[in-house]
Amino acid sequence: MVTDLKTIIFGLLITFKTGYGQDFGYDGNTGPDFWGLKYQGCNGGKLQSPIDIELNNVTEKEFPPLVFQHFDEPLETVKLENNGHTALLSIKQGKIPNVRGGPLNETYNFSQLHFHWGRTDDEGSENLVNNQSFPLELHMVLYNTKYGNFSNALYYDDGLTVLSFLYHKTIKQNQHYQKFERELPAVENLNATVDIIGFVSLDNFTTTDRNEYFTYKGSLTTPPCSEVVTWLEFINTIPLSHEQIQEFRFLSGARGKLNHNFRPAQARNDRSVYMNIPTLSSTASSSNDRSSSKLNAHSKNGRSSSGDLRSNCGVFVLLMFKYFYYIVN
Ligand SMILES: [Zn+2]
């Protein structure tokens, strides 16, 4: 009895400390439609995430360049865990990467990254582009350093930023994911954890072609759905093979296999969604990046031939071309 009580109190403390709700799922009476019964924040807010980003409804804007620190250095020791809702990766030892610039007024420190996927490769991403799903979405969660840590930052409008990356399916395996994929089966069971020593850099795990992105004000996509997130949704996607995507679907949650874990798109309401229009100088510097996606080549060709980067028409044609490319590949 004493042990049980201790367990309950400890559980409550953890929930309180992290600010994360734990009793939710993606099906039936614990699914997204029911989150609001227990977590008021998920219900009726005006800034909920994810959303469908409609290309004919974005506002072009030139933001200052994003500055990434320690993204290019291999991560010393990371902890991979199955928290029942996703595979979550945090840094156990080593330098903490951070980001500033763009739409962000402060510096944001890395807290964790995790994934959202679907039952098949035709679904899985949380944010959509022109109602188009992608097979996987990575959320890198960072907290505003002026609030000291993730838990405190949850209480402020500018508390968090999520750097969000979409994936596209390729025939070839992504070599940078080999170590990660090798360890993923070790966290197949609920609450399992594994330490990985000598992990790839965040640059290699995502993409360095980060000049083009959408940004909007939104929320956590899981309870308590706090509306404290500046979202950055990068236009260039990460390549991953079907076999590599498939590995995520073997994870177990509290109610069996966690074969899908994406929240449906929420109402945009009267929010503005911006698309960063990179300056010519920042575009030129990106040509040195080591991105693995061959979409970049198309993107650069498209730009050099279109000439005027700020032309609405040119940008939309470029985007439509990119998303058509994703769909057929
Ligand atoms: Zn997420």
Compute the distance between CA of residue 45 and CA of residue 68 in angstroms, rounded to an integer: 31
The pLDDT assigned to 23 comes to 85
Centroid of chain to Cα 295: 20
- From ligand 1's centre to the CA of 245, what distance in Å? 16
**28-35, Cβ contacts within 8 angstroms, sequence gap of 24 or more:** 30/255, 32/263, 32/264, 35/223, 35/225
- From ligand 1's centre to the CA of 310, what distance in Å? 31
**pLDDT tier, 44 (very low <50, low <70, confident <90, very high otherwise):** confident
Q: Is the pLDDT at 252 greater than 80, yes or no?
A: yes
- From ligand 1's centre to the CA of 226, what distance in Å? 12
Instruction: Give the pLDDT mean for 294-313.
Output: 30
Q: Is the pLDDT at 292 greater than 60, yes or no?
A: no
Q: Which domains does the chain have, with CATH numbers?
A: 2-279 (3.10.200.10)
Q: Name the catalytic one among 85, 114, 116, 176.
A: 85
- From ligand 1's centre to the CA of 81, what distance in Å? 14
Pairing of strands 58-61, 273-276: parallel
Q: Fill in the amino acid letter for 51.
A: I
Q: How far is CA 189 from CA 26, 85, 124, 186, 252, in A?
A: 17, 11, 20, 8, 5
The pLDDT assigned to 74 comes to 98
pLDDT over 90, % of the chain = 76
Nearest-CA neighbor of 132 among 325, 311, 269?
325
Q: Where is pLDDT greater, at 309 or 93?
A: 93
Mean pLDDT of the chain: 84
Q: Please enumerate in sequence order all residues whose Cβ is within 8 A of that of 17, keeping only pairs 6 or more positions apart, or say none.
A: 151
- From ligand 1's centre to the CA of 55, what distance in Å? 22
Q: Record the pTM.
A: 0.83
- From ligand 1's centre to the CA of 315, what distance in Å? 28
Q: Is 85 a catalytic residue?
A: yes
Q: Is the pLDDT at 328 greater than 70, yes or no?
A: no
Compute the distance between CA of residue 117 and CA of residue 245 in angstroms, rounded to an integer: 8
